[in-house]
Structure 1
Amino acid sequence: METQFKHLIYDRLIALNVPETTAEYINMFGLLLALLIIVFIIDFITRKLLVKAFNKFTSVSKTNFDDLLVANKTPRNIAHIIPLLIAMKFTPVVFGDFPNFDGVFEKGLQVFAIVLTLWIVRSLLNTVKDYLKTLPRLKDKPIDSYIQVFMIFAWVAGFMSAIAIITGTSLLSFLTALGAASAVIILVFKDTILGFVASIQVSINDMVRIGDWITFEKYGADGDVIEINLATVKVQNFDKTITTIPTYALISDSFKNWRGMTSSEGRRIKRALFIKQEGVKYLNENEVNKLKDIQLITLYLESRQEDINSYNSSNTINKELLLNGRNLTNIGVFRKYIDVYLKQHSAINKDMMIMARQLAPTTQGIPMEIYAFSSDKRWENYEYIMSDIFDHLIAALPYFDLEVFELPSGSSFEGKHS
C-alpha cells in the first residue's frame, strides 16, 4: 500500500509522457503538500478535541490542578504528538526517491520532537509550580528557582541532543567534545550557577521567604519579597516601586529580614529624648511634695521619700546642704515616670521588655531612651503609638523642670541683640 501511495502521482505523470526526473520531483512535492495538509488538519482536530475534553473534565473536577494544566497549555502541546508521529511515519514514503531529502526532513522532525518534549515538560512544570504555590505551607518557598534550574538542564540536554542529531554524531562523543569547552560554559553560566547555589542555601537556611519584609540598603530595597527565582529576587518597596536583587547577593551581602518582628508579639520602640544637662538637679522636700500631685508616681515618691528620710535620719545626715546623704533627682523621678507610664499604656505589650534607661551623656545632652514593644505591628499604627508616647513625654518634661536639648536657631539670639 505504501508503494502504491509513494508513486500515486508519479505513475500518472509517466502515463502522460512526462520526463521521469520531472515526474519524481512533482510526485515528491505533491505528496509533501498532501502530507502537510493532512498533518495540519489532524493537528487542528486533535487539538480541538483534546482541549475540549480537558475543559469539560475541569468543569466537573474538584481539584484546580487540571485547570492549571489548561491554563499552561499542556493539552495543546500534547495534541501535537499525534500529527508528529504521522509525519515521521510517512516521511520515508514522501521522499522515497530522494534519500538525501529524507534524511534532512527526518532530522528536522527529530529536532522538533525534542522541542515539543521540552514544551510539554515546561508546561507540566509550570503547572506543578502554580499548584504548589496554592498550598499554604509552600507558597513562601522559592519554587521558581527549582523549576528554572530543572528547565535549564532540560534545555541544555535538548540542545545537545539536537546538535548531535544534526551533526550525525553520538551524544557521548558530543559530550566528550563539550568537556573541552567547560571553562567557557562555566563563565557563560556563572550567574546561573551562583543563583542556583544561592537559591538552595536560601531555601535550606530559610533566610528569605516570599512575603518577608526585608531591608537591603546596598540595592535600595525596603519592602516585601514578591518573587524568588534562579537569578533574581524581586522586592516591592513601600512606595510600590520594584527593586531587583541578584539571588546570590542574599548570601554574599548583609541584609535585614523583619520576619522575626512580624512573627513576634510586638514591634520594638527604641528612641531617646535628649535632655539638657543644666536642668538636672536634686529635689528638696517641697519639690518632691509638689511632684506627688502626679498620680502615676505618687506612691513611688511616698515610698522613696520615706526610705530616704529614714536613712538620712539614722545616719545623722546634715541636710542643710542638699548634696549630703541620699536624695531624689528630677531626672531620676522623670525616668521612673516614663517606666510607669509605659507599663500602663494600652498599646504597649506588657509581656515583653519595658525599660526607660539613661545613656551616656553626649554633647547634645543626656539621652533618655525608651525601650518597649508596641502590641500593634502595623507600620501606620506603630508610628502613631510611638508619636503619641513621645508627644506626652515631651509635654511632661517641664513638670520636672527639665528641657529637651535642641540646637539654637536665629530666634534664640534675638533677645540678646535687642
Structure 2
Amino acid sequence: MMLKMDLSKWFSWLNLGIENPETASVVEVMLQIVVICLVAFIFAFLVRKGTIRLITGLVRRTKTKWDDIFLEEHVFQKIFNLVPPVFIDFAFKIVYGKWDHIELFHRFIVAWILVVAGYVIVSVLDAINRIYESYPVSRDRPIKVFVQVIKIFVVSAVVITIVSVFIGESPRNLLVGLGAFAAVLMLIFKDAILGFVAGVQLLSNQMVRIGDWIVMPSNNANGTVLEINLYTVKVQNWDMTITTVPTYQLVSNSFTNWRGMEESAGRRIMRYISIDMLSVHFLSDEEIDMLRKSEVLKEYIEDILPVLTEQNKGKEDVLDERRLTNLGVFRQYAVRKLQANPNLNMDMTYMVRQLQPTATGIPLEIYCFSRIQEWVAYEKVQSDIFDHLLAVMPYFHLRVFQYPSKL
C-alpha cells in the first residue's frame, strides 16, 4: 500500500509537464510496476545466489553423480527463474487488487510462469537423459528419441495453455478447435512423427544401437553410430567424416549392421585365388615324394596312397584310375594350414573349396573365421594366410591366373 503514493507533487517539482490527473495516474501506475519488477528481480537474484551456493556445496559433498548432472544442466538455477513472476503476481494482487487491467497483467504473468516452467521441465529431461547415458544399458536402448518426443509435447502443451489463457477458453476446447488443422499439423510435424515411429521400431527391435558399425550405401554411411535422436542418426565414417541419416530411413531402406559379427566368436574370411586351369595335372611319383616330406602333408599322403592303390587294382588305363592331383593336394595343404593357425576359430565353419570355373581360371576359395575382429589385426591375419598360400603354390606346380602384363 505504501507504493501507491501520490506522485503528482513530484511530477510538478520535476517540471515534467504532467498536469492531467489521468495521465499522472497512468504514469504513476507504470512507475509502480517498474519498482515492483525491480524489487522482484533483486529479491530473486539474492535468493538464487545464496541458495545456489548452498546447493552447490551440498552437491559436491555427495557421492552420487545425479545431483552433479542436475547442477551442470542448471536445473536449480532455472527453477529460481520462477521467483520474479510469482513475486510480481503476488505484489500486483495486493497493490492493484481492484485495478481494471489487473486481469490482463495476470495473464501475462501466467504466460511467463508457463514458459519458465516448460524451460525447467526441458532441462530436467536433458539431465535425466544424461544420467541414463552414464549407464551401459544406454548403448543398447537409448532414450533420447523418447526424451525429444516428451519435449515436443511439453512445448506444445505450454503454447496451447498460453493461448487458452489469453483467449479465455479451456485448453480442451482449444484442442477440439485445432482438429480442423490436423492435416496442417501432420505436415508440419511429419519428420518428427516419422522419426518417433522409426525410433520406437529401431529401439524395440534393437535394429541399431550406439556403437554399432553400420553400412548404408544409399546415404554414404559406413562407420560407427554416434547418436540416435528423433530426427537423425549420426554415423562417424571411417574417414572421420560425419553422416546424418534420417531416422525413418533406417526402417524404410536397407542397411547392414555388423553387430552380429562383433558379438560372434569370429570375423569371416572369404576370399579366393584364381588358379590357372592349364597348370592342373596329376602328380608324378617324384612330385608325391617331394610333397610327402612336408610335415603338413605327410600324414594325408601316407593315408590316401594305400586307399588309391586298393581302388586302382585291376585298372591299367590312366583314365580309369584315381590319382592325386596337384590342385587336390594343395587344397588339403590349405585346410591343414588353416587348422594349425591359432588366429582362426576352428569351432566355426571353415573350408577350402572350388567355385565355378570362369574365363579367369578356377576360383579356389578360402572360407574361415578369424578370432581377431579388430579391423587392422583382422586384415593382417587374412593377408598372412594368402601371402603364404601364394608363395607355396609353385611347389605344387600351380600357377595363379593373371592377365599378361606388357613389358
Q: TM-score, normalised by structure 2?
A: 0.94
Could you say what secondary structure the match of 2:186 adopts? helix
1:67 and 2:80 equivalent? Answer: no
1:374 and 2:370 equivalent? Answer: yes
Counterpart in the other structure of 1:415: none
Partner AA of 1:113 in structure 2: I
Task: Give the Cα–Cα distance (whole angstroms) in 2 for the partners of residues 7 and 309 of structure 1.
Answer: 123
Partner AA of 2:149 in structure 1: V
Task: Give the Cα–Cα distance (whole angstroms) in 2 for the partners of residues 242 and 135 of structure 1.
Answer: 25
Counterpart in the other structure of 1:281: 281
Aligned length: 403
Could you say what secondary structure the match of 1:382 adopts? helix
Counterpart in the other structure of 1:91: 92
Could you say what secondary structure the match of 1:181 adopts? helix
- Superposed, which structure 2 residues align to 1:269-418 within 5 Å? 269-313=269-313, 316-318=314-316, 321-411=317-407
- Superposed, which structure 2 residues align to 1:11-410 within 5 Å? 19-93=20-94, 99-100=100-101, 102-313=102-313, 316-318=314-316, 321-410=317-406
CA contact (8 A) 1:226 1:234 kept: yes
Task: Give the Cα–Cα distance (whole angstroms) in 1 for the partners of residues 256 and 139 of structure 2.
Answer: 21
Task: Give the Cα–Cα distance (whole angstroms) in 1 for the partners of residues 379 and 110 of structure 2.
Answer: 64
Q: Tell me by how many angstroms 1:68 deviates.
A: 0.5
Could you say what secondary structure the match of 1:410 adopts? coil
Partner AA of 1:362 in structure 2: T
5+ long unaligned stretches in structure 2: none
Task: Give the Cα–Cα distance (whole angstroms) in 1 for the partners of residues 63 and 328 of structure 2.
Answer: 68
Q: Deviations over 1:315-372 (max 9, x none)?
A: x010xx4332111111111111100000001211122222111111111111111111
Q: Deviations over 1:149-169 (max 9, x none)?
A: 000111111111111122232
5+ long unaligned stretches in structure 1: 412-418
Q: Tell me by how many angstroms 1:10 deviates.
A: 4.5
1:7 and 2:8 equivalent? Answer: no
Q: Tell me by how many angstroms 1:27 deviates.
A: 1.8
CA RMSD, 1 decimal: 1.9
Could you say what secondary structure the match of 1:243 adopts? strand
Task: Give the Cα–Cα distance (whole angstroms) in 2 for the partners of residues 338 and 150 of structure 1.
Answer: 59
Partner AA of 1:326 in structure 2: R
CA contact (8 A) 1:31 1:94 kept: no
Partner AA of 1:195 in structure 2: G
CA contact (8 A) 1:13 1:23 kept: no
Between 1:343-352 and 1:242-251, the stretch displaced more is: 343-352
CA contact (8 A) 2:133 2:142 kept: no
Between 1:62-71 and 1:352-361, the stretch displaced more is: 352-361
Could you say what secondary structure the match of 1:155 adopts? helix
Could you say what secondary structure the match of 1:254 adopts? coil
Task: Give the Cα–Cα distance (whole angstroms) in 2 for the partners of residues 291 and 79 of structure 1.
Answer: 86
Q: Deviations over 1:290-333 (max 9, x none)?
A: 211222111101111111012212xx010xx4332111111111
Q: Deviations over 1:170-219 (max 9, x none)?
A: 21221111000001111111111010000001111011110111111111
Task: Give the Cα–Cα distance (whole angstroms) in 1 for the partners of residues 223 and 266 of structure 2.
Answer: 19
Could you say what secondary structure the match of 2:235 adopts? strand
Partner AA of 2:315 in structure 1: I
Task: Give the Cα–Cα distance (whole angstroms) in 2 for the partners of residues 311 and 176 of structure 1.
Answer: 90
Task: Give the Cα–Cα distance (whole angstroms) in 1 for the partners of residues 156 and 2 of structure 2.
Answer: 40
Could you say what secondary structure the match of 1:223 adopts? strand
Task: Give the Cα–Cα distance (whole angstroms) in 2 for the partners of residues 80 and 110 of structure 1.
Answer: 13
CA contact (8 A) 1:339 1:356 kept: yes
Task: Give the Cα–Cα distance (whole angstroms) in 2 for the partners of residues 405 and 159 of structure 1.
Answer: 72
Between 1:275-284 and 1:13-22, the stretch displaced more is: 13-22
Task: Give the Cα–Cα distance (whole angstroms) in 1 for the partners of residues 97 and 123 of structure 2.
Answer: 36
| CA distance 1:250–1:14, change in 2 (3 Å) | closer
Q: Tell me by how many angstroms 1:96 deviates.
A: 6.0
Q: Tell me by how many angstroms 1:261 deviates.
A: 0.8
Q: TM-score, normalised by structure 1?
A: 0.92
- Equivalent pairs: percent with the same residue? 36
Task: Give the Cα–Cα distance (whole angstroms) in 1 for the partners of residues 50 and 139 of structure 2.
Answer: 34
Q: Tell me by how many angstroms 1:105 deviates.
A: 2.4
CA contact (8 A) 2:352 2:367 kept: yes
Task: Give the Cα–Cα distance (whole angstroms) in 2 for the partners of residues 170 and 46 of structure 1.
Answer: 35
Task: Give the Cα–Cα distance (whole angstroms) in 2 for the partners of residues 46 and 402 of structure 1.
Answer: 88
Between 1:300-309 and 1:105-114, the stretch displaced more is: 105-114
Could you say what secondary structure the match of 1:368 adopts? strand
Could you say what secondary structure the match of 1:357 adopts? strand
Q: Tell me by how many angstroms 1:223 deviates.
A: 0.8
CA contact (8 A) 2:283 2:324 kept: yes
Could you say what secondary structure the match of 1:322 adopts? coil
CA contact (8 A) 1:28 1:94 kept: no
Task: Give the Cα–Cα distance (whole angstroms) in 2 for the partners of residues 14 and 294 of structure 1.
Answer: 115
Q: Tell me by how many angstroms 1:6 deviates.
A: 5.2
Task: Give the Cα–Cα distance (whole angstroms) in 2 for the partners of residues 83 and 56 of structure 1.
Answer: 25
Q: Tell me by how many angstroms 1:95 deviates.
A: 5.2
Task: Give the Cα–Cα distance (whole angstroms) in 2 for the partners of residues 93 and 24 of structure 1.
Answer: 18
CA contact (8 A) 2:4 2:32 kept: no
Could you say what secondary structure the match of 1:7 adopts? coil
Task: Give the Cα–Cα distance (whole angstroms) in 1 for the partners of residues 57 and 213 of structure 2.
Answer: 42
Could you say what secondary structure the match of 1:129 adopts? helix
CA contact (8 A) 2:268 2:368 kept: yes
Q: Tell me by how many angstroms 1:390 deviates.
A: 0.4
Task: Give the Cα–Cα distance (whole angstroms) in 1 for the partners of residues 169 and 198 of structure 2.
Answer: 36
Q: Tell me by how many angstroms 1:51 deviates.
A: 1.7
Task: Give the Cα–Cα distance (whole angstroms) in 1 for the partners of residues 151 and 287 of structure 2.
Answer: 78
